[in-house]
Structure 1
């Protein structure tokens, strides 16, 4: 989006079929709403599925002729309404339609409130790059265009892109009449969209309408927005070659490497070199210790350690014990460490004595020095694990400012380095 909108526009014609509006009218009647509300809900559903998010404010023109004395006056009384709807929670289309009905009825009940006064009351942050309250507009006209007869004047209907300017990012100008069904145009900001993208938006709207008219109980997540050719493209040429990952877990892959090259260097920590056999024995002792204290399959453990050999051994030990791990970075503030540990639902914390006091909670804390672990067996545990068992809980920064967690399985993490073309993962490669 440029810093200052040029308002240069383009236009795409839309034809959604001759019988579609008749079916829209039937659904509207059964749900106690108007055809406009059905189209509005379908547009919200389509935009949500295309990635626009669950909070959508869509502008719509109102005729401004609510008073009978205005009916026969020549003049421009149009006011703009902002119809804000939430599609959060994966509602069925019927439930979404009820939300839209509530929002639209409330907006049209206040349609006399001038838009400029609404804008003044809301007082949003202004920008020369976009409209302040909405970026997408929807208009729907039903029936034919009335004939205007004036003495000595020839009149003609003009619609869509008249002067090459686009007022909004996208403007849906739809009409239903007996001759062509539901049709119209989409005017778009040429700096933001190209014709092909807008044609796809139009096709998705038509596809969504067809699906929800067949089954209004469909949840939004079940709406198919890809055509057959698009799905074939995504799962075929764009997906690349398929690598067989198999069902091996992280534990199995690591222990296979230990058996294959036990004396090979697994870790470099400053001047310290640790072989695969040594690392495996350290991790096994930790894993036996954690198992003895109740850590098991499906549990979550936090690892709060400075980077080094002990850190790597602890991560491997947690996975060998059947649990998933979440990394708690000592560089983070204590508050973030505590919230991450609580959100992850850890039952055990593996840490060092100097760090143990930073994260207190209802979990077990393990800070046993290496000497006390020597009493545990260094052999593999041989626990039954599956590729879909949780292995790692990773926190992102979070778009809202609160970190969000992503749970990855053994299959996810094994596939990250199996059969990939973006990097080499063979012997002799070193990673930081």
Structure 2
């Protein structure tokens, strides 16, 4: 199709497509490939001997430009029958030095030749069967750079936290605004709130929205939802009202954990809420058991395959989309991050991003 329309003027393309302009790049494309598939013209001047001279280093007009030319056998070849028959391709690559170095471009050239060799050897094969990488590159990308597998047990987030709380009950788990909370205290507070949530119908595959400011209560709430068996949906209180309403409408959470101050932003069309700092809530929590909830108390057995939380994308390319993350992947993630960042029992980890950040 491209060759069929090769005579369309460039100005016409720009006029009809009206692409967004930027001084940083070409308006229509950044990579160009040209193919000269006609026999090279021979300059023959009677009585004149001419020698071609190099034109010097070109200036890159595009980010990356492939210029290919088909070569032909000449009638001076040993076999006269090969005259003017195709003899292969040769070409050059121009590239912007501000974007590429020689090593990168040479690698791109090797991959391009590999694709051409593969396609010419079997023109009928599917595109997804074409091997672009050589064995060494494939091993580096899939093996060396992705050697993140860890031998970890298939457990749930509450089991992981409860095991840590049993090992180091008096160690500091969370620090906020000068207040320190131990693993034992955080575990007990989350257990009481989890039982309140279970009484409200929360269990495996239930979704609970958590709309709280950064605080100790936020940590308690997130942990409590998973202990009840549910999955939490973190909602940043700074979100515009329209986005909050969209998340409630799209995700359909069973209820919302929030504060009395935040509850004023909820309307009758939003899910029911529990304000963790409401005196009625704190009184109810005081009368609940602070031991770890069991599957007998939950609506059903909590499994590693159940969702632990739901995160919505930023929506920068359209409507935000919810992604459910199961308990199954969390032990592996925890083990990898502990190894990569050398996290030990004495380490402190700064929670800088919002709890709803889709990282």
Asked if residue 382 in structure 1 is aligned to residue 299 in structure 2, the reply is no
Structure 1 partner of 2:62: 168
Structure 2 partner of 1:426: 345
| Cα shift at 1:250 | 1.8
CA deviations over 1:390-415 (Å, ceiling 9, x no partner): 32333454544865655444354434
Structure 1 partner of 2:110: 203
**CA–CA distance in 2 between the matches of 1:234 and 1:280?**
41
Asked if residue 215 in structure 1 is aligned to residue 122 in structure 2, the reply is no
Asked if residue 414 in structure 1 is aligned to residue 331 in structure 2, the reply is yes
Alignment CA distance shift 1:237-1:288 (3 Å): same
CA contact (8 A) 1:135 1:169 kept: yes
Asked if residue 119 in structure 1 is aligned to residue 14 in structure 2, the reply is yes
Deviates most, 297-306 or 415-424: 415-424
**CA–CA distance in 2 between the matches of 1:240 and 1:339?**
39
**CA–CA distance in 2 between the matches of 1:248 and 1:294?**
23
Structure 2 partner of 1:371: 283
CA deviations over 1:41-86 (Å, ceiling 9, x no partner): xxxxxxxxxxxxxxxxxxxxxxxxxxxxxxxxxxxxxxxxxxxxxx
**CA–CA distance in 2 between the matches of 1:322 and 1:158?**
77
**CA–CA distance in 1 between the matches of 2:169 and 2:242?**
41
**CA–CA distance in 2 between the matches of 1:149 and 1:299?**
83
| Cα shift at 1:254 | 0.4
CA contact (8 A) 2:172 2:183 kept: yes
**CA–CA distance in 1 between the matches of 2:13 and 2:64?**
22
Asked if residue 307 in structure 1 is aligned to residue 214 in structure 2, the reply is yes
CA contact (8 A) 1:288 1:381 kept: yes
| Cα shift at 1:307 | 2.5
**CA–CA distance in 2 between the matches of 1:337 and 1:390?**
21
Structure 2: stretches of 5+ with no match in the other structure: 72-84, 296-300, 352-359
Alignment of structure 1 residues 80-99 onto 2, 5 Å = none
TM-score (norm 1): 0.62
**CA–CA distance in 2 between the matches of 1:163 and 1:274?**
66
CA contact (8 A) 1:417 1:425 kept: no
Alignment CA distance shift 1:385-1:164 (3 Å): same
Structure 1: stretches of 5+ with no match in the other structure: 1-100
Larger radius of gyration: 2
| Cα shift at 1:188 | 1.6
Alignment CA distance shift 1:407-1:154 (3 Å): farther
Structure 1 partner of 2:194: 287
| Cα shift at 1:316 | 0.5
- Aligned pair partner of 2:309 in 374, 386, 392: 392
Structure 2 partner of 1:320: 227
Alignment of structure 1 residues 20-419 onto 2, 5 Å = 101=1, 104=2, 108=5, 113-120=8-15, 122=17, 124=19, 126-142=21-37, 144-147=39-42, 149=44, 151=46, 163-176=57-70, 178-208=85-115, 210=118, 213=123, 215-216=125-126, 218=128, 224-239=131-146, 243-270=150-177, 272-360=179-267, 361=269, 363-367=271-275, 369-383=281-295, 384-395=301-312, 397-400=314-317, 407-418=324-335, 419=338
TM-score (norm 2): 0.72
What is the CA RMSD across the aligned residues, in angstroms? 3.7
**CA–CA distance in 1 between the matches of 2:51 and 2:273?**
80
